[in-house]
Amino acid sequence: MRYVRALALALVAVAVLAGCGGNDDPGLQPADSDATPADGPSITVEDAWVRATAGSTDPTMTAAFMVLYNEGSTDIALTGATADVADMTELHEMVKVDGKEMMQQVEEGITITAGRGKELAPGGYHVMMMGLNTDLAPGDEVTFTLTFSDGTEQTVHAPVKEFTEEEGHYHEPGTGEHSHDDEDS
């Protein structure tokens, strides 16, 4: 698989350099993306999923989780997201405030260090979708677009999964069940 990625990266680099005259950080196309290599960032998205709202206390909001890998040579930040199923989409994280876990918006973006991965997971960073215009049941699929600091975007198709480990966690902040650590994978 690494050979295929290396070959794909080399072909993309040649195409970008020939067409643009010097982009040092050509993009890779994630397996679940609609982006093409020439217009995508060097970020790959893996294991993306969205929490189901069926049976939740507040079915008007949910969160998306994933692992972002930066295969480029410079740091890139995830700066925003949009989703057709939501009126508002923001980047959030769980933090401890006065000994209690709370959710807050991440306005400066989520940095994905060059050559490393960043996990967006329950209890940490996540893409928050609010004002949902539909219920989300396990087995459904949600499409959303991620925006990065280098101006690129990636469309992600993520399955909806049941999430019972922390029932109500994203609707009742302050449960104290998690600590927030900046985890690189």
| Cα–Cα nearest to 41, from 52, 26, 54 | 26
Domain 30-161 has CATH 3.40.30.10: no
Residue 56: per-residue pLDDT = 84
Helix/strand/coil percent split, the chain, to 5: 10, 40, 50
CA quadruple 21, 23, 28, 33: dihedral, nearest 10: -90
Residue 165: per-residue pLDDT = 52
The answer to whether the predicted template modeling score (pTM) of the entire model surpasses 0.85 is no
**Bigger pLDDT: 174 or 79?**
79
Collapsing DSSP states into helix, strand and coil, what is residue 18? helix
Mean pLDDT (whole number) for 105-113: 95
**pLDDT of 14 higher than 70:** no
User: Residue 57: which pLDDT band, with cuts at 50, 70 and 90?
Assistant: confident
Mean pLDDT (whole number) for 34-50: 70
| Residue 114 token pair | 């060059």
Residue 114: per-residue pLDDT = 94
